[in-house]
Amino acid sequence: MDVIWFLVLSAFIFVIGAAGVLTRRNPLVVLLCLELMLNAGNLALIAFSRMHGNEAGQVFALIVMVIAACEVVIGLGIIVAMYRNRLPIDVDEMSELRG
């Protein structure tokens, strides 16, 4: 199985995620699209790890998964705080961070 196919697939997933981040307005969906981009990066890291026969790439992917979990926790916390303060759940309306 060629490793190149995995890289092409990862690039397509990354582009789809980036398009979602750029076009969607619901912050929840923007976070989901960020997950897509991080997962595309993970797939590329693991493909390179397979190519070189070196497990370090898989450790990188594991650390990326940890970062993604942190990002989800903080992002969802911000969204819940927006909902509590009755702010619009829309990234175009939210242009300042003043509590």
Partner 1 sequence: MWFQQVLFFIAGAGALAGALGVVMLRNPFYSVLALVAHLIALAVLFLLLYAEFLAVGQVVVYAGAVMVLYLFVVAYIGGADEPLGPEHGALRTLGPLFAAALGIELCIAFIASGLSALDSRGAELEPGFGSPGGIGQLLLTRFLVAFEAASFLLLLAAVGAIVLARRRRGLEEEGPTVGPPRDRGPAASETETLEVRV
Distance CA 99, CA 82 (A): 9
Task: Judge contact between 10 and 38, C-beta under 8 A.
Answer: no
Exposure of 10 in the CB half-sphere (CA atoms within 13 A): 16
Q: How far is the CB of 2 from partner 1 (least distance, A)?
A: 4
Identify which of residues 35 and 96 has a Cβ nearer to partner 1 in the complex: 35
26-65 residues in contact with partner 1 (CB under 8 A) are: 26, 28-29, 31-33, 35-36, 39, 42-43, 46-47, 49-56, 58-59, 61-63, 65
* Count of CB atoms situated within 10 Å of the CB of 1: 6
How near is the Cβ of 87 to partner 1 at its closest, in Å? 11
Please state, in angstroms and rounded to a whole number, the distance separating the CA atoms of residues 94 and 33. 18
22 forms part of the interface with partner 1 (CB under 8 A):
yes
The number of residues that bind partner 1 (CB under 8 A) is 71
Q: Closest separation between CB of residue 96 and partner 1, Å? A: 16
Residue the block writes with tokens 């990326």: 64
